[in-house]
Structure 1
Amino acid sequence: MSGFTGTGALLRLALRRDRVILPVCIVLLVLLAGGSAQAALALYTTPAGLTAAARAVNASPSIVAMFGPIADPTNPGSIASFKTVSLGAIFVALLAYSLVRRHTRTEEEAGRTELVGAAVVGRRAPLTAAVLEAVGACVLTSVVVAIYLVGLGLDVPGSVGYGLYWLSAGLAFTGITAVAAQLTQTARGASAWALGALGVAYVLRAVGDSSQGAATALTWLSPLGWGEKLEIYGTNRFVVFLIPLAFAVGLLGMAYGLRERRDLGAGLVSGRPGPRRAAASLSSPLALAWRLQRGAFLGWLVAYALLGLVLGSVALNVGDFVNDPKVEQMLRQLGGNASSLSDLYLAAEINFLAIGAAAYGISAALRLRSEEAEGHSEQVLATSTSRPALLGSHALIALVGSAVLLVVTGLGMALTYGSATGGVGAAIRHLTPSVLAPIPAVWVCVGLALVAFGALPRLVMLAWAVLALFVVVGEFGSIFKLPQSVIDVSPFVHVSVAPGGSVSPTPLVALLLIAAALGIAAVGAFRRRDLATP
Structure 2
Amino acid sequence: MTAVSAAATLAPARGSRHLAGTGVLLRLALRRDRVMIPAWVLALGLLVAAMGSSFQALYDTAAKRAELAASMNANASLRALYGPVFGDTIGGLVTWRMAGFGAVLAAVMSLLIVVRHTREEEETGRQELLSAGMVGRRAPLTAALLAALIADIALAALIGGGLAASGQPTAGSFALGLAIGGTGLLFAALAAIAAQLTESARLAKGLTGAVLGLVFALRAAGDAATADASSPLTWISPIGWAEHVRAYAGDRWWVLLLLAAGTALALAAAYVLTARRDIGMSFLPARPGPARAPRSLSGPFGLAWRLQRTTLLGWTLGFLCAGGIFGGIAKGASDLVGTNRQALEIFRRMGGQQALTDAFLATMTGMLGMVAAIYAAGAVLRLRGEETGDRAEPVLACAVGRLRWACGHLAIAYVGTAVILAFGGLALGLGYGVSAHDVTGRLGPVLGAALAQVPAVWVLTGLAVCVYGLVPKATTAVWAVVGGCLAIGWIGPALKFPQWAMDLSPYSHLPKLPGGEATAAPFLWLLGLAVLLATAGLVGFRRRDIG
Same fold (TM over 0.5): yes
- The amino acid across from 1:172 in the alignment is L
Q: CA deviation at 1:19?
A: 1.6
Please state if 1:228 is matched with 2:243.
yes
- Residue in 2 that maps onto 1:336: 352
1:297 aligns with 2:307: no
State the 1:198 CA deviation.
1.1
| Counterpart contact for 2:459–2:526, Cα < 8 Å | yes
Separation of aligned partners in 2, 1:228 and 1:77: 13
* Residue of structure 1 aligned with 2:62, choices 42, 47, 51: 47
* Counterpart residue identity of residue 411, structure 1: L
2:86 paired with 1:71: yes
- When residues 275 and 160 of structure 1 are mapped into structure 2, their CA distance, relative to the original with a 3 A threshold, is farther
User: What amino acid sits opposite 2:476 in the alignment?
Assistant: M
Contact 2:429 2:447 (C-alpha < 8 Å) held by counterparts: no
Residue matched to 1:327: 343
Unaligned runs of 5+ in 1: none
Quote how far apart the aligned CAs of 1:334 are.
0.7
Alignment partner of 1:132 is 2:142: no
Matched, 1:145 2:159: yes
Farther-moved stretch of structure 1 (415-424 vs 457-466) = 415-424
Change (3 A) 1:474 1:220: closer
Is the CA contact 1:96–1:174 (under 8 Å) kept in the aligned structure 2?
Answer: yes
Distance (Å, rounded) in 2 between the aligned partners of 1:307 and 1:278: 36
- CA displacement 1:50-92 (0-9 Å, x = unmatched): 11111111111111112211112x2222223423321121111
Which of residues 176, 182, 186 is equivalent to 1:172? 186
Name the residue aligned to 2:528: 513
Equivalent residue, structure 2, for 1:434: 449
| Structure 1 match to 2:428 | 413
Kindly provide the CA deviation profile for residues 223-257 of structure 1, in whole angstroms up to 9, marking residues without a partner as x.
21111111122111011101111111121121111
Letter in 2 for 1:189: L
Q: TM-score, normalised by structure 1?
A: 0.95
Q: Deviations over 1:477-524 (max 9, x none)?
A: 466665432331111111141313221322221111111001101100
2:108 is matched by which residue type in structure 1?
L
Whole-angstrom distance in 1 between the partners of 2:243 and 2:471? 41
Query: Is the 1:365–1:394 Cα contact (8 Å) retained in structure 2?
Result: yes
Unaligned runs of 5+ in 2: 1-15
Deviates further, 405-414 or 275-284: 275-284
Distance 1:34 1:58 in 2: 23
CA contact (8 A) 1:357 1:442 kept: yes
Give the aligned partner of residue 48 of structure 2: 33
Structure 1 residue 374: Cα displacement? 0.6
Q: Hey, what does 2:3 align to over in structure 1?
A: none
Q: Name the residue aligned to 1:246.
A: 261
What one-letter code is carried by the residue in structure 2 that aligns with 1:528? R
* Identity in percent: 39
* 2:395 partner SS: helix
- Say whether the 8 Å CA contact 1:449–1:463 is kept in structure 2: yes
Which residue identity is paired with 2:177? G
For residues 274-316 of structure 1, give each alpha carbon's deviation from its aligned partner in whole angstroms, at most 9, with x where no partner exists. Answer: 3556543211111111111111111111111101111011112
1:470: Cα distance to partner?
Answer: 2.6
Using the size of structure 2 for normalisation, the TM-score is 0.93
1:145-204, Cα deviation, whole Å (9 max, x unpaired): 222222333222222122122112201111111111112222233223212211221122
CA distance in 2, matches of 1:231, 1:333: 31
Tell me how far apart the structure 2 counterparts of residues 208 and 478 of structure 1 sit (CA, whole Å): 31
Q: Is 1:23 the equivalent of 2:42?
A: no
Structure 2 partner of 1:108: 122
Farther-moved stretch of structure 1 (212-221 vs 383-392): 212-221
Q: Is the 8 A contact 2:328 2:435 kept in 1?
A: no
The code of the aligned residue for 1:316 comes to K
- Kept in 2: contact 1:434–1:496 (CA 8 A): no
Deviation at 1:222, TM superposition (A): 1.2
CA distance in 2 between partners of 1:96 and 1:205 (Å) = 20
Mapped pair 1:193 → 2:207 = yes
Superposed CA deviations along residues 403-439 of structure 1, whole A, max 9, x for unmatched, are 2222211111111211232422211222144212221
Q: Letter of the 1:71 partner, please give it.
A: F
Q: Which residue of 2 aligns with 1:373?
A: 388
* Contact 1:433–1:501 under 8 Å retained in 2: no
Distance 2:127 2:390 in 1: 16
Residue of structure 1 equivalent to 2:11: none
Does the CA contact (< 8 Å) of 1:180 and 1:194 recur in 2? Answer: yes
